[in-house]
Structure 1
């Protein structure tokens, strides 16, 4: 089994595990009175990420691995773990506002408003580049930027409304 296939298998397992965690956290947040905001964009995010991973499985297995880009991807995974550990049960793939709960301002959130999105931006580019697929990295970086623009705008509006006493 090649290094590329091992990496893709690990990334796939990670993403499936994260989806299970997100589903569990979403249910728990909703049970605590959380409100999902702007769910309409969610299928587009799922589609972009699923197509990214499927495309990598299709195009990357025959490619050699660039260790520098793979190392960058591994560093991004450490940052992802930091985000997940900081948010704990509040991490989800959806926008869930928990009324009367302050924003997280610890960990990477001391440095950036949206560190998870910064990690995702890096991942979407770094992994295809690790497999010598720069055009693929560019295409999916643009698609990801489009869905993140919608999501961040919706999330910022929801958080501002929540801070002002709304849902």
Structure 2
């Protein structure tokens, strides 16, 4: 909901979506991720798993970083590549230290969440798929920002 609201705001301010062709792959991978956890836990018979407090702590800390990312980006946070030369790229919060901190958060989640449910194969496969998608996404974002800076 937040991402969709921010997307509308950006487009109403003159923002333009760039290189969105790969977006459906992100959606597909995330849907398959949750299905994979469920299926793997079911097939492997993982019904009574003891809570791993270290993994839970990592998950909670990761969510705190996600909130920091979203708060730092404010209205610019969304799930698509939307640029507007009227606005400068955000360089505060975690973005002051890491160029794409939210992608690090997602990578950690794709590893930790399956392990919390005993889905070891999912924990191996989906971070790898995430890296493959980022090999498309990050260059697309960089191109969009570079084009924006040339026009701005």
TM-score, scaled relative to structure 2: 0.90
Alignment of 1:62 onto 2:43:
no
Alignment of 1:49 onto 2:26:
no
Judging changes above 3 Å, is the alpha-carbon distance between structure 1 residues 63 and 120 closer, same or farther for their aligned structure 2 residues?
farther
Q: Distance in 1 between matches of 2:113 and 2:76?
A: 27
Deviations 1:65-89, CA, capped at 9 Å, x for gaps: 3221121111100000000111111
Match of 1:14 in 2: none
Once the two structures are superposed, the pairs formed by residues 67-82 of structure 1 within 5 Å of their partners are 67-82=53-68
Match of 2:17 in 1: 36
Query: What is the number of equivalent residue pairs in this alignment?
Result: 147
TM-score, scaled relative to structure 1: 0.83
Q: Distance in 2 between matches of 1:67 and 1:107?
A: 27
Q: Distance in 2 between matches of 1:152 and 1:111?
A: 17
| Runs of 4 or more consecutive aligned structure 1 residues displaced over 4 Å after TM superposition | none
CA RMSD in angstroms, aligned pairs only: 1.5
Judging changes above 3 Å, is the alpha-carbon distance between structure 1 residues 99 and 131 closer, same or farther for their aligned structure 2 residues?
same
Deviations 1:116-140, CA, capped at 9 Å, x for gaps: 1111111111111222222211111
Q: 1:66, 1:131 within 8 Å by CA — same for their partners in 2?
A: no
Match of 2:102 in 1: 116
Q: Distance in 2 between matches of 1:72 and 1:133?
A: 17
Give the deviation of 1:63 after TM superposition: 5.1
